[in-house]
Structure formats: C-alpha cells, structure tokens
Amino acid sequence: MPVLRDEPRGLGHARPATAVQLALALSLLLTSLPTLASGALALHWATSLGMQQDPLPAASRDASMPAPAAGQQAGKGPTPWPLMLLAADQQAASNRAFDAGARAAQAMSQQAWATAWMPRADASASASRRHQQINETTVNTPATALSMSATWPLWRAAEQANARAQAAQADQAQWQARGNRANVARELSVAYLSAIEAAEQRRLTLAQQDLLQAQWRINDRRLQAGAGTILDVLETRTRIDQTRAAVQELDTRLATQHLTLERLSGQTVVLPAGLRGEETHWPAVVTTLEEALLLAPSRHPPLRDALAQITTATATDQARTAERWQPTVDAVASASLVREVPQLDGFSQRQTTRERAIGVQLNWALFTGGVQQGRTRESAALLIQAQARRDEAQAQVEAALRDAYQTLSQARQVITLQRQVEQTASATYEALRKAFVAGLRTNLDLLNAQQQIYTARQSLVTARIHALSAQVNILALLDQLDADHVAPLTPLFDTAPLPLLAESTP
C-alpha cells in the first residue's frame, strides 16, 4: 500500500489517483455505506419531533448536553403548563399588588356608601372645675357633662353620587387586577412556548450535528484514501461548528426562559424536552372570530376597565354638579346631661340640666369662590377622557383579535406547506446521497440538501409554536388564559424532562 501524505488537497491541487488508490477508495466508500445509512436514519429521526431516543451517540451527547440544574431531581417529569399558571396566579408579586389595590378600592366604596346612607351617632363626656373670683368672693364650680347626638342623612345627592363613583372604581380595580393576571399568564405562556421552541430546535440541531459528524468521518476517510479533498473536510467541519454555536445560543435562550418561568411561578420549573410528534388534529381551545368579537366587550379586561372608568367619571360629574347646586338635608337629634355644684362661702347647691333636641338640618353652599365650578369642569374633562379610552380599547381588542386569528390561520397553512417542503427535501437528499456515492455529486451538494431538510423542520417547529402563541393571545384577550383552557394543549409537548444548564456564578 502506498504511503499517503497528509497535505492540502484543494479543488485545484487534486492529483490523478493510481489504480491502487482508486481501489482502496472504493473499498473505503463501500465500508462507509452503513455510516451514511445511519446518518440518514438520524436525520429521519427528526421527522418525528416527539421520539424519546437521543439522536446523538453517547460520546457526542455527553459533550454537548448541558448539566442538570442545581436542585433538579434526576428523572423528575416536566412541570405542567397549567400548574405553572395556577402558581403564578397566586405567587406573582404584581398579582398580589393588584389584589391589594382591589381590596382597598372595595373598602373605600363601603366607606362612601356609609357616608351617603347610614346614620351616625356620637357620644361625649367631660369633667371640669371652674374657678371664679368676684370681688372678694370666690366661687368654685365642679361640673360634669354627658351628651349624645345622632345624624341621619335624608338627602345627600353629592355623597350618593360619590358612593356610586367609588363602587365603579372598585369594579374598575377588579378588572385591572384581572387584566394584570392575564398579562402575567401571557408572559409566562410566551416564555414557556419560547422555551419549548428552543428545546425542539436544539434537538433538531443535535440531530443535524450527528449527521454532519458522520459525514465528516466519511470525508476524512476519503481524504486519507486519496479520493477526497481537504475542502470536503473543511466544509463539513464548518457546518459542525455552526451547529455547535447554534446549540450554545439555544442553551442561552433556554436558561433565560427558565429563569422567567421560575420568577413568575415562584417554584422550581422543569422544562419538557420539546414537542411531541406532529399532530394532525389540533385541540379546539379557542372560539371562532365572530364569537370572540361578541365576547370581547364583556371579557376583555382593558375594555371593561375603560367602561368602569366611564361609570366612575359619570357618577363623579353628577356628584360635582350636586355639590354646586343641591343642599344636604339631615335629621338630627341630641340629648345632654350637665351637672354643676357651685361652691360659695362654704355653701354648695347641686344643679342638674337635662336637654333634648330633635330637628331637621339643611346646608346649602351659596358661595365657594369658584372651587365648585373648577371641580365640575374637571369631572367633565375626565368623562371625555374615559370615553376616549373606551373607544381606543374597543379598537385595540378588535384589531388584536383579528390579527391573532389571522396569525393562527397562516401558521396552520405554513405547517401544511412545510411538511410538503420537508418531504420534497428528504426525497432530494436521498437522490443526492445516491449520486454522491456514485461520484456524480459533490460533498457540498450533499451538505446543502441536508441543510434544506434541517431548515424545513426548523420552519415547521416555528410555525407550530406560532400557532400555539396565537391561541395564547386569543385566550389572554378574552380573559380565558387559565389552567382549564390550556390543559387540552399539554399533549402536544414531550413528557420527557429537559436537563437544564447549571446556574452560573457571576
């Protein structure tokens, strides 16, 4: 066997092969056919996005798979999406803050209602000692007094309107809290789907890397046999390095989304390994566009917030008008007991005074220096602002719903098209592989065919995630993004856990 030197063999430096070298190269190529077949099987593995076996051999998998996170138990299943939504609903700090605000608004509403409608009773007691000096006479008078008064509102138009305004503000605070919950659930769901996409893209990239490594070994053997060129090896090696860089980027995305999920849910999160096998039937978790548009006025939190603000502004405007023009009428009653004991030159005489009164009290603001006029103009401006907010919220929710349903429809179309593209790319790759073995195609042609399959499957994963994200947006807009509504989507995700990167110490 001739001694082969390891020298650069570019396209322009290929030297004629001898008959012995050609025979040796042919034998090596024939022995490499099982490796090519195994590489094709590895690429075919990625067609089924939910298979549980690892596409990489043990050595490659150990080198590229990140270490488990601290505190993550081996063999522990992934954290369900509905469970994270339930945890975030209770643990998210912003949710707790808005809940406290809603309770405060409810308490203020109760205070305003009590001021406008409920009677008030007060009791007082006092004890005193009065000292008087009249010429040469000194008078000391100890005294005690007890009194009780009651006021019952008969007509307080301003306070009654203010009570209605406070009740509307309490309702507004409730919808603001629900809107924040929807935002938190949307943020968590987007982070979860982004992590799922990164995990599935990582699995595809590792499968592509495994196939490229098999191709690199074949090209290296062909180079050693004198049938290949160093360019084939370098081209394949470049593709391998690109996949490694892509895996590192996907690991960073996974770590970021993992931190977001744990922050929102307040618990340790284990992510699934990716998507399960391709689904021909998608669970129906959203209604039609027409039904969603009908539900939006009663379910969309920002729109209900704006409607409650209009009610608040209207009641406030009525209260300001009542303060300016209408009197307040109250029924009042009082009773008092005063006991005095004047002491004069050693003599004392107890005096007891009892007093009872009942009547009607009327108060009318005649002149306030322009304060009431200014408050009336303010309330009118706030009413116009609330109506503008209502119109804007209505337009936004309708546009957002139409966009989400359009995105969902387009994503489903892209899924169908990408499956066809994948089938065509797979058939092209098989034909090119046979032509490559026969020497009719170059290594670059084979790599490009592999890349077309990989790109088609990446686009398929992205389209599936876009379809899920569109449904998440629809549910969030209708205040339905909760554990019950996302539970039918959980079968779409892999049941195997994904090992996560260990937390780095800065």
| Res. 364 pLDDT band, cuts 50 70 90 | confident
The band of 11, judged by pLDDT with boundaries at 50, 70 and 90, is very low
Is this model's pTM higher than 0.95 or not? Answer: no
pLDDT exceeds cutoff 80 at 116: yes
Q: What is the pLDDT of residue 83?
A: 95
- Average pLDDT of every residue of the chain: 82
Output the CA angle 414-419-420, nearest 5 degrees. Answer: 100
Q: What is the pLDDT of residue 283?
A: 79
Q: How far apart are the first and last CA of the chain?
A: 57
Quick one: tokens of 395? 């337009």
pLDDT attached to residue 181: 95
Assess whether pLDDT exceeds 60 at residue 217: yes
Tokens standing for residue 96:
């707790």
Q: How many CB atoms lie within 10 A of CB 476?
A: 25
% pLDDT > 90, the chain:
54
Amino acid residing at 105: A
| pLDDT of amino acid 275 | 92
Least confident of 5-9, 141-145, 459-463: 5-9
What is the per-residue pLDDT for 225? 87
- Residue type, position 181, single letter: R
CA 365, chain centre distance (Å): 51
pLDDT band at 385; cut points 50, 70, 90: very high
Quick one: pLDDT band at residue 59, thresholds 50, 70, 90?
very low
pLDDT score for 42? 39
What single-letter DSSP state applies at residue 333? E
71: three-class secondary structure by DSSP: coil
Distance from C-alpha of 401 to C-alpha of 180, rounded to nearest angstrom: 18
Question: Residue 137 in 3-state DSSP?
Answer: strand
**Is the distance from CB of 457 to CB of 433 less than 8 angstroms?**
no
Q: 81-91 and 157-225 are packed helices; what angle lies between their axes, rounded to 10 degrees?
A: 140
Tokens 């090992």, residue located: 499
Could you report the per-residue pLDDT of 120-169, keeping only the tens digit for each? 899 999 988 877 777 777 777 788 989 999 998 888 888 889 999 999 99
**pLDDT score for 210:** 93
Mean pLDDT over 234-262 rounds to 94
pLDDT higher than 70, residue 4? no
For 28-49, what is each residue's pLDDT tens digit?
A: 444 444 444 444 433 343 333 3
pLDDT band at 281 (very low <50, low <70, confident <90, very high): low
* Distances from the Cα of 237 to the Cα of 31, 38, 214, 233, 360, angstroms: 21, 19, 11, 6, 97
For 325-356, the pLDDT digits (tens) are 888 888 999 999 988 877 766 677 778 888 99
Band (pLDDT 50/70/90 cuts) for residue 279 is low
pLDDT given for residue 104 in this prediction? 95
